Amino acid sequence: MGATVTAIDAVDKNIKIASIHAASDPTSASIEYCCATAEGLVKEKRLFDAVISLEVIEHVANPLEFCESLSALTIPNGATVISTINRSMRAYATAIVAAEYILRWLPRGTHEWSKLVTPEELVLMLQKASVSVEEMAGFVYNPLSGEWSLSDDISVNYIAFGVKKGEASSTNDREANLS
């Protein structure tokens, strides 16, 4: 679609696997892959029109600082998108017990209950990081079709779309607007 895409992961092995996979498809061959963290890109003063973090926040040590890093990487009025797992009993049963222990879709211990983030907590953290959540949706898996779809049900997996607040106008601009 013409976008310049930078994909990051803190694990070098993941970057190498993604690069190999992307090279086999001409539509993704131009993606820049970097072994890096959001915090590292902030130090480099990188800025993006949209920052997308999928299934990461539940693995970081400090989710609020992570949200602040994502915001720092987003241009004013740019998009911030985060997906994660809700800290609910239904999510525990499906995302941890079923996915890790019964179906073995993920290695056991991939998710820690205490690190999961509720939608309300995510909204508050993003607000503190100057990102206004505009939309939220759930993900629902259909075992018969093997496909995921969006839903109003945010009790297990969910995704949030937010917009970084624009830069405040200068004092002179505010004074001119008041005159």
| pLDDT tens digits for range 14-57 | 999 999 999 998 888 899 999 999 999 999 999 999 999 999 99
At 171, the pLDDT band (50, 70, 90 cuts) reads very low
Mean pLDDT (the chain) is 91
- Domain residue ranges in the chain: 1-36, 45-178
The average pLDDT across 146-154 equals 95
pLDDT beyond 90 at 164: yes
Q: Among residues 165, 11, 147, which one has the least CA distance to residue 80?
A: 165
At 2, the pLDDT band (50, 70, 90 cuts) reads confident
pLDDT beyond 90 at 144: yes
Q: What is the pLDDT of residue 101?
A: 94
The average pLDDT across 93-122 equals 94
What's the whole-model pTM score?
A: 0.87
At 179, the pLDDT band (50, 70, 90 cuts) reads very low
Q: Among residues 94, 83, 86, 87, which one has the least CA distance to residue 135?
A: 83
CATH superfamily label, 45-178: Vaccinia Virus protein VP39 (3.40.50.150)
% residues pLDDT > 70 (the chain): 93
pLDDT beyond 90 at 129: yes
